[in-house]
Amino acid sequence: MYDAIILAGGENNKHLNRYTAQSYEAMIDIAGKPMVEFVAEALAASSHVARIFVAGPAEHLRKCSFPDNTVILQGGRTIMETISLGMKALGHENITLVVTADIPLLTPSAIDDFVSQCALLQADVYYPVIAQCDHERRFPGNKRTYVRLKEGTFTGGNIFLVNPRIIPQCMQVAERIIAQRKNPVRLCSILGWTFLVRFALGMLKLSQIEARASDILGIKGAVICSPHAELGIDVDKPSDLDLVRSFLAQTC
């Protein structure tokens, strides 16, 4: 069993603030409740999750209805600071799930499959990618940021399995990587210009990115190929919000 931290401190961005009055993405209303509640419920229903820590604007989060095993924390100024605060609150250094609050289509089966695949590998950080064909089969017409690699074309997920011991040494570089996560070219420039050229030519392999990122951060990373497109549907533009509202209105 793993504890899980939900990152719920993201402020509403310029693309969405014209469509909702909420100050924080986690609190955006979807099918009658804040988006973050869907994420917490999926984690609570997973057979691999013990406690859930929700880190963000505590005053707002206390108005939510969370599962019984949920702890609310005040978040930090940045994603990495919030992760660090969450890790300190755990009271242990066991490997931990970290999930963003803006993936309301997250399902227990997607979580369980990701964790089960991670269990087959030894690493400090596990990160999922979803093939474009799997994403478009599940959510046709939804626009994502894709990276073309030698094995195929992929988009990134929004759930991680992390060893808390590595957080202090990764803070600065991880902040840069997170800041550029939606820009494949700039992300590759952090990894090195040789990688940028290989990326432009579609010659990069998942294993090469995995190895290079591990070297830069001084850790062991593992990329997990997930068939669950729900891991990649983060609500950061109006079309995403329309998609999840429509989808969840039909299923709730």
Question: Any idea of the CA torsion for 233, 235, 237, 239, to the nearest 10 degrees?
Answer: 60
194 phi-psi bin (left φ>0, alpha ψ -120 to 50, beta other) = alpha
Tell me the one-letter amino acid at 144. R
pTM of the model: 0.90
Provide the token pair at 178.
Answer: 């997170």
pLDDT digits (tens, 9 = 90+) for 53-85: 999 999 999 999 999 989 999 999 888 889 999
- Banded model confidence at residue 2, pLDDT cuts 50, 70, 90: very high
pLDDT in tens, 166-179: 888 776 666 666 66
Q: What number of other Cβ atoms are within 10 A of residue 79's Cβ?
A: 20
- Are 8 and 35 in contact by the 8 Å Cβ rule? The answer is no
% of residues, the chain, pLDDT over 70: 89
Per DSSP, the residues of 60-74 read HHTTS---TTEEEEE
For position 14, what pLDDT does the model report?
A: 67
Domain boundaries, the chain: 2-251
The whole-number pLDDT of residue 175 equals 67
Asked whether 129 and 206 are in contact (CB, 8 A), the reply is yes
Residue with tokens 């990701």: 114
Q: Could you tell me the pLDDT band of residue 35, with boundaries at 50, 70 and 90? A: very high
Instruction: Count the Cβ atoms, other than its own, within 10 Å of residue 204.
Output: 23
Tell me the CATH class for 2-251. Answer: alpha beta
